Amino acid sequence: MADYLASIYGTEKDKVNCSFYFKIGSCRHGDRCSRKHVKPTFTPTILVRNVYKNPAHDPTCAMTEPELQEHFDAFYEDWYRELAMLGPLEEMHVCDNVGEHLVGNVYARYKAESDAAIAVDKLNDRYYAGFPLYAELCPVTDFREACCRQHEDRMCNRGGFCNFMHLRHPTADLRLELHDAQKAMLKAKGFEGIGRSSTRRRSSRSRSRSPARTSRRSSRWEEDDEARRSREPRESRP
């Protein structure tokens, strides 16, 4: 019996645990779900909800597809670089779904569970683009299981309201560049912790970036979150 229960854990056959929460880290019923959302205490993956605001979701949006990609790439780079400061990143994904529980979600899987735990703590004290962040540990470790296969084949007929992840991808060059930058950063270990500190040393690689590439990066991480926090006190967290 125990073997059977273990084999169906988090699957559709499991009548106790929510398969959507287990596979995707987010379910459309949220806290009112009739099945259990078992929050992990030890996992390499973090989830930060509702942070990417895709301009295309605004019906008055007049941006072209290349402009939208540029907008997304800037976001992806901004987040990847910041999250990589907190520990070696294995992967980072951004949802392009429109349903409340998935829209703009950022998932990041670290090499080490301990880095994921630290990242959650630090991010929960930060703001991005003027909004406070809500980060949590997330049960997803296999993103192939979490992603909508039909969407990858451009055949999902549920569109943005699909309950599996519809990921938005950065351009291939950017992905490679970020992987290389992380490698160089780990090698140099010349970076300080989270925060856009003016004393942070940059690797020679990032200094050699072309001005055009550098100017695209107008980071929306708050420069001075201490000052902001003292103006807008947040509720204390449990």
Q: Establish if 151 lies at the interface with Zn ion (CB under 5 A).
A: yes
For the record, the structure tokens of 93 come out as 């994904």
x/- mask, Zn ion, residues 9-48, rule CB under 5 A, reads ---------x--x-----x-x---x---------------
- The CB-of-127 to Zn ion minimum distance in angstroms stands at 29
**C-alpha span between 18 and 36 (Å, rounded):** 5
Q: Name, in order, each residue with C-beta under 8 angstroms of 26's C-beta and a sequence gap of 6 or more.
A: 20, 47, 49, 101, 102, 105
Q: Residue 56 gets which letter from DSSP? A: G
d(CA 91, CA 179): 9
Which is closer to Zn ion, CB of 24 or CB of 123?
24
CB of 133 to Zn ion, least distance (A): 23
Q: What is the pairing mode between strands 106-110 and 131-132?
A: unpaired
State the nearest-atom distance from the C-beta of 37 to Zn ion, in Å: 6
**Residue (142 or 192) nearer to Zn ion, CB:** 142
72 contacts Zn ion (rule: CB under 5 A): no
> Which listed range, 38-46, 116-124, 134-142, 158-166, lies at the site for Zn ion (CB under 5 A)?
158-166
Give the interface size with Zn ion as a residue count (CB under 5 A): 9
User: Can you tell me which of 148, 165, 174, 181 binds Zn ion, judged by CB under 5 A?
Assistant: 148
Closest to Zn ion by CB, 14 vs 113, is 14
d(C-alpha 8, C-alpha 23), whole Å: 13
Q: Is 98 in the site for Zn ion (CB under 5 A)?
A: no
User: Is 94 within 8 Å of 104 (Cβ atoms)?
Assistant: yes
Question: Residues 221, 128: contact at Cβ < 8 Å?
Answer: yes
Strand partners, 107: 47, 93
CA atoms of 76 and 73, how far apart (whole Å) = 5
Please, what is the minimum distance in Å from the beta carbon of residue 16 to Zn ion? 11
**Mask: binding to Zn ion, 102-121, rule CB under 5 A, as x and -?**
--------------------
Residue with Cβ nearer Zn ion (148 or 174)? 148
Query: Hey, is 83 helix, strand or coil?
Result: helix
Find the length of the chain: 238
Shortest Cβ 22–Zn ion spacing (Å)? 9
33/176 with CB nearer Zn ion: 33
Question: Rounded distance, CA 127 to CA 133, Å?
Answer: 6
Do residues 221 and 78 touch, judged by C-beta distance below 8 A? yes
Among residues 86, 89, 162, 194, the one that binds Zn ion under rule CB under 5 A: 162
Which stretches of the chain bind Zn ion, using CB under 5 A?
18, 21, 27, 29, 33, 148, 151, 156, 162
